Amino acid sequence: MLEILSEKLSKVFRMLGNKGRLSEKDIDEALREVRLALLEADVNFKVVKEFLGKVRERAVNSQVLESLTAAQQIIKIVNEELINILGGGQSRLNTSPHPPSIVMLVGLQGGGKTTTCAKLALHLKRSGQRPLLVAADNRRPAAVEQLVTLGEQLEVPVYREATTVPSKDICAHGLAEARNIAASWVIVDTAGRLHIDAEMMAELAQVKQVLNPTEILLVVDAMTGQEAVRIAEEFHAKVNLTGLILTKMDGDARGGAALSIRWVTGVPIKFIGIGEKVDAFEAFYPDRLASRILGMGDVLTLIEKAEASFDEKQVQELKKKVQTATLDLDDFLDQLKAVRKMGPIGQILDMIPGFGKVAGRLPEGGEEKQLKKVEAIVLSMTPEERRNPSIIGGSRRRRIAKGSGTTPQDVNQLLNQFSQIQKLMKMGAKGKLPPNMLKAFQ
């Protein structure tokens, strides 16, 4: 996510960090590089001009220039101004005082609108809400079938009618159904087009009049850069948007849409899509994205993902096994599965401060292949071998390798790594590790 922009800004800040005290000339040179990086990232030129103006105004302050930590202070200024450009604080969904609350999703075809409806439904369901999906995209029969399929997978009800029924009538009937089943949220998938036209806008206006929605969210592809900003401006002018959902943020290496759209339109980004899976969806936090852009990670999102993936009882049992040095390969496999539930390893590394570059250097899909290989090796072992890996000799290693589609060398490598983990646990249980490492055993 925003890898190219992050890499270029990191180079600028490394250059500043090597200079010690800074002059006004140093800052101007650095800001020229930042300007080029932002323009190459397809950020709107007006946004770039305002952003750099504010950064320079604060950076040439005498206290900053005379400080021995000037580079760090400038990074702090850039971080704060990035947060402002992205919208300041988090923008949550508005709720209706009289349920159900209604979300009307709009957008062009190909932006991921139907899938996003399902992602939003899952997000609300996980927070304890009762969503109903309404398939009102009668222009594209495949969209109706897609939404019904996704609803079945997520166990979320979907209201549908024949595609010959006008969308405004489908919405009116869907709203009545929501009240019948006591749904707390209604998520409406509206019809899109390949381009913005008067007919589509007239239809959306009719649907809006019928629904009186709490939220009108535009779903737009972040990878289209300034085109996404233009589309958002046009939709906002016609239907008065309340929020934005940027899809395909995981593929947006530049960042133009994310850094421009809020400032240009005045409409807050409320969610981002970070993958194809239905759970690859996050609430948008300007401070967290700014932190990722500057290579500072996103620890809060990482913690939230971990809390959602790891069962508290399992965590306590694991801690007890670590403290008593009794962790076995079954436990190792359980933790591997939990980590994989958190999302692609590249995305997880990107959230750890300082590891963004590591994630960028990994071969595409390479980390997932390695995890699958480890999982296959452990699953090819007998229960006794997982509990007591020391019994695995040459013939057993060959059998495990054959069963997992790997080589005996791969099996040896895993067993050696696990042996090192066990040694560390035993040293920790006896209090023989350095104080900073011992904290993990307390």
Name the CA radius of gyration of the chain, rounded. 26
Residue 358's pLDDT is what? 44
- Confidence at residue 159, expressed as pLDDT on a 0 to 100 scale: 96
* Residues 6+ away with beta carbon under 8 Å from 98: none
Instruction: Report how far residue 348's alpha carbon sits from residue 298's, in angstroms, rounded to the nearest whole number.
Output: 9
CA distance linking residue 150 with residue 207, whole number of Å: 23
Domain with CATH 1.10.260.30 in the chain: 302-441
Query: What's the burial of 416, exposed, middle or buried (CB within 10 Å: 0-12/13-18/19+)?
Result: exposed
Task: Supply the mean pLDDT for the chain.
Answer: 83
What is the value of pTM for the model shown?
Answer: 0.71
Distance CA 134, CA 104 (A): 10
Maximal CA-CA distance, the chain: 74
Closest CA to 362 of 338, 340, 345: 345
**Which part of the chain is CATH 3.40.50.300?**
101-293
| Residues carrying CATH 1.20.120.140, the chain | 3-86
For the segment 195-235, what is each residue's pLDDT rounded down to a tens digit? Answer: 888 888 999 999 999 999 999 999 999 888 889 999 999 99
Nearest Cα neighbor of 190 from 107, 118, 281, 115 is 107
In CATH, what number does 3-86 get? 1.20.120.140
Q: What percent of the chain has pLDDT over 90?
A: 41
According to the model, what pLDDT value does residue 440 have?
44
> 432: which residues sit within 8 A by CB, 6+ positions away?
none
What's the confidence (pLDDT) of residue 216?
Answer: 96
Q: Are 229 and 257 in contact (CB under 8 A)?
A: yes
pLDDT digits (tens, 9 = 90+) for 242-278: 999 999 888 776 778 888 999 999 999 999 998 888 9
Average pLDDT of span 77-84: 89
3-class DSSP state of 280: coil
| pLDDT average, residue stretch 38-59 | 90
Would you place residue 439 in the very low, low, confident or very high pLDDT band (cuts 50, 70, 90)? very low
CATH of domain 302-441: 1.10.260.30
- The yes or no reply on domain 101-293 and CATH 3.40.50.970 is no
Q: Kindly report the three-state secondary structure assignment for every residue of 139-192.
A: CCHHHHHHHHHHHHHHCCCEECCCCCCCHHHHHHHHHHHHHHCCCCEEEEECCC
Whole-angstrom CA distances from 416 to 96, 384, 391 are: 58, 18, 13
Instruction: Calculate the CA 294 to chain-centre distance.
Output: 16
Quick one: pLDDT at residue 308?
A: 61
Helix ranges, 252-382 (H): 256-265, 286-293, 299-309, 312-323, 329-341, 345-350, 356-361, 366-379
CB count within 10 Å of CB 222 equals: 28
pLDDT higher than threshold 50 for residue 433: no
Which residues, other chains included, contact 395 with Cβ-Cβ below 8 Å and sequence gap of 6+? Answer: none
